[in-house]
């Protein structure tokens, strides 16, 4: 089992100065992650989503991290693939350049960039996001495998060469963001790894693992985007781990509350997140999450729509918040399910830098070694 971290560059109170600081804080966390034995970091790509994600140019962030590290893998989790965001050839060129500079450490995840804010910023039509994401995967997996390349689909490319050539042969591993059963099935059919994003918890991850495995078993390979199939499933693990387990739980639930309100704002029509007082305790944050969940369920019920884990998951606070033993117990559930990678979400907008760094140390000194030892038995 692998261990990774994902970065959104979230920011509860955005100012230019705080924005600059949080990006440098993310770099510090990523460098420490290598020292503490993590296998990979992931960086999202979002645009114009104030507070929720200030990671708009993840290829620059990942290059900066790659220059300061030696072994940890560098993952795009994910690149927005519809053509209005960026031409597939540019994605292929940038990823190959980073693969060369990092010594073959790059992973590429594909996403749709489907918030209304992002779609409007780049003039992308919602109905184009799925077909163009799939076509982009096919384009650059093909481009990386041929010295001379051309493509004639919904866009025409070439003939020409994609330079430089990536170090990894035939190309960096391919992934896809998956939050629903349908996207998991699509990832399996396309032969790409699944980045399971969501807070719904271990029970939902178990169901997602089952859906992914069933789709892998049923596929024929006709829809593979590459000659190389990737069956790797990475599951999100929100976590804050400190010696003071009560503080960890308070900071974790507060960070998740901020995250949930940000998602509700940018993916729905809810108000933007507001500041949270230090006087609020864990019970306040849990109560707020429960109220927001109940309000959402009621709205869905009124619209005759069933409430699914993917809809209500951000309000589930049963995660790796506490001391190192709490985190080990949670990861034990993921290990039993058969998760290939635990993707730690630590940098939530209200979690202070000292707590992020301490969480990384706790995972590196206690949690990860626990599971490394099990693998050696």
CATH code of 272's domain:
3.20.20.30
Q: Give me the pLDDT at residue 368, please.
A: 98
Cβ proximity of 160 and 142 under 8 Å: no
pLDDT above 70: residue 279: no
Q: Give me the pLDDT at residue 287, please.
A: 82
Residue 41, beta-bridge partner list: 5, 74
Percent of the chain with pLDDT over 90: 80
pLDDT grade for 217, boundaries at 50, 70 and 90:
very high
Residue 75, beta-bridge partner list: 42, 107
- Residue ranges making up the domain that contains 131: 2-376
Q: Give me the pLDDT at residue 313, please.
A: 72
The pLDDT tens digits of the residues spanning 91-128 come to: 999 999 999 999 999 999 999 998 999 999 999 999 99
Cβ proximity of 115 and 180 under 8 Å: no
User: Regarding beta strands 156-160 and 149-152, do their DSSP bridges make them parallel or antiparallel, or are they unpaired?
Assistant: antiparallel
Q: Give me the pLDDT at residue 106, please.
A: 98
Report the domain count for the chain: 1
* 36-40 average pLDDT score: 98
Q: Give me the pLDDT at residue 285, please.
A: 83
* 2-21 average pLDDT score: 96
Percent of the chain with pLDDT over 70: 95
pLDDT grade for 297, boundaries at 50, 70 and 90:
low
pLDDT grade for 269, boundaries at 50, 70 and 90:
confident
* 220-248 average pLDDT score: 96
Q: Which residue has the higher pLDDT, 263 or 66?
A: 66
Nearest 5°: the CA angle 204, 209, 211 is 95
* 26-43 average pLDDT score: 98
pLDDT grade for 255, boundaries at 50, 70 and 90:
very high
pLDDT above 80: residue 68: yes
* 256-264 average pLDDT score: 89
Six-digit token pair at 130?
A: 């799925």
Six-digit token pair at 228?
A: 């190389």
Three-class SS state of 57: coil
In whole angstroms, give the CA distance from residue 85 to residue 203: 35
Cβ proximity of 79 and 109 under 8 Å: yes
The pLDDT tens digits of the residues spanning 111-121 come to: 999 899 999 99
């Amino acid at each position: 089992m692998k261990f990774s971290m994902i970065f959104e560059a979230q920011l509860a109170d955005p100012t230019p100065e705080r924005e600059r600081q949080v990006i440098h804080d993310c770099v510090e966390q990523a460098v420490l992650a290598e020292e503490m034995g993590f296998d990979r970091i992931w960086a999202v790509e979002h645009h114009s989503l104030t507070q929720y994600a200030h990671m708009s140019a993840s290829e620059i962030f990942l290059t900066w991290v790659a220059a300061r590290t030696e072994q940890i893998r560098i993952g795009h989790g994910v690149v927005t693939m519809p053509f209005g965001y960026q031409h597939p050839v540019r994605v292929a060129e940038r990823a190959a350049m980073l693969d060369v500079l990092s010594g073959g450490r790059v992973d590429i995840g594909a996403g749709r960039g489907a918030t209304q804010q992002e779609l409007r910023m780049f003039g992308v039509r919602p109905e184009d996001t799925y077909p163009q994401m799939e076509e982009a995967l096919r384009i650059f997996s093909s481009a990386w495998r041929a010295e001379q390349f051309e493509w004639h689909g919904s866009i025409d490319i070439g003939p020409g060469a994609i330079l430089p050539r990536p170090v990894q042969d035939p190309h960096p591993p391919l992934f896809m963001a998956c939050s629903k059963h349908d996207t998991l099935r699509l990832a399996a059919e396309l032969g790409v790894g699944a980045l399971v994003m969501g807070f719904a918890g271990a029970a939902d991850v178990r169901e997602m693992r089952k859906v992914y495995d069933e789709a892998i078993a049923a596929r024929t390979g006709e829809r593979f985007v590459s000659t190389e199939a990737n069956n790797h499933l990475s599951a999100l693990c929100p976590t804050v781990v400190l010696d003071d387990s009560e503080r960890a739980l308070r900071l974790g639930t507060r960070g998740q509350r901020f995250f949930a309100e940000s998602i509700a704002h940018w993916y729905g029509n809810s108000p933007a997140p507001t500041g949270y007082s230090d006087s609020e305790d864990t019970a306040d944050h849990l109560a707020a999450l429960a109220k927001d969940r109940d309000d959402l369920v009621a709205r869905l019920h009124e619209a005759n729509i069933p409430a699914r884990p993917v809809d209500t998951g951000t309000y589930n606070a049963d995660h790796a918040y506490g001391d190192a033993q709490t985190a080990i117990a949670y990861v034990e559930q993921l290990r039993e399910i058969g998760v290939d990678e635990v993707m730690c979400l630590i940098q939530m907008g209200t979690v202070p830098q000292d707590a992020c760094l301490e969480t990384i140390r706790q995972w590196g000194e206690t949690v990860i070694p626990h599971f490394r030892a099990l693998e050696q038995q």
